[in-house]
Amino acid sequence: MSLRKRIADSPRFNRTIEGLFAAYVRFAYRTSRWQRSGFEEMDACVKRGEPVIFVLWHQRLIMAPYLFDTSLGRICALTSAARAGRLAGQILVRLGFETIPMSSHKRHVALSREVLRRTKEGCSIGIAADGPRGPARISSGVPITWARMTGCRVFTVAFAEKKVLKLPTWDKQMLPLPFSRGVLICQEWQETVPKKPTDDEAEALRQSLEQALDQITDKADHAAGRAPDPIKSA
């Protein structure tokens, strides 16, 4: 095994990286001014013990702990079993989230059962609609499946700052900058998901959610004074 791989697989190294990223996100949030809008209904649901499905684009995932108020209730985020996914999951844990790790060995049925169990316990579910590998800003059908299965209300969320750091990832993951101004926005997705949608209905719902996520993300960018992000896979 190469030295680089041994370092990358080192628990101590990974804990250090997790801690540095989490500390940076806290610092960037606390030293910036944020406008938070549209969260009243989602916060009210969570406060009264009604779990929700919380959906955003993977590019904006790092600020999820400030888009969902964990002082009001629990939330579990789905994380990849890959090294980068494990790292992101542990950063979210340090910032107050719980996680449900995916695995190539775990069947979709088992994962869905775990999601259903968590929501029955009152835990909300967070998911990046295009994660963990993309294509960027192309929604999967998973949020629709879970909305149908759990009956939970679905809320789309986004954050934006005028200037951000972008990581060299498939979706140009955004990191907030300190001493800046930003926006945090939430809006409920209003579509009704039938218990047994046809394939055409499921696809129409998937497209509707994708459009809603694009709209709220572009709205956040506009409110922050930045041009809408051009990233959109064909």
pLDDT in tens, 118-162: 999 999 999 999 988 889 999 999 999 999 999 999 999 999 999
Contact 211, 193 (CB under 8 A): no
| pLDDT on residue 22 | 92
Read off the pTM.
0.90
Contact 38, 187 (CB under 8 A): yes
Question: Looking at residues 149-178, what average pLDDT do you find?
Answer: 94
The rounded distance, in Å, linking the Cα atoms of 208 and 233 is: 17
| pLDDT on residue 229 | 81
| pLDDT on residue 4 | 46
Q: For the chain, give the percent of residues with pLDDT over 90.
A: 68
| pLDDT on residue 230 | 75
Model confidence at 103, pLDDT cuts 50, 70, 90, reads low
Distances, alpha carbon 234 to alpha carbons 134, 203, 218, 227, in Å: 11, 17, 18, 20
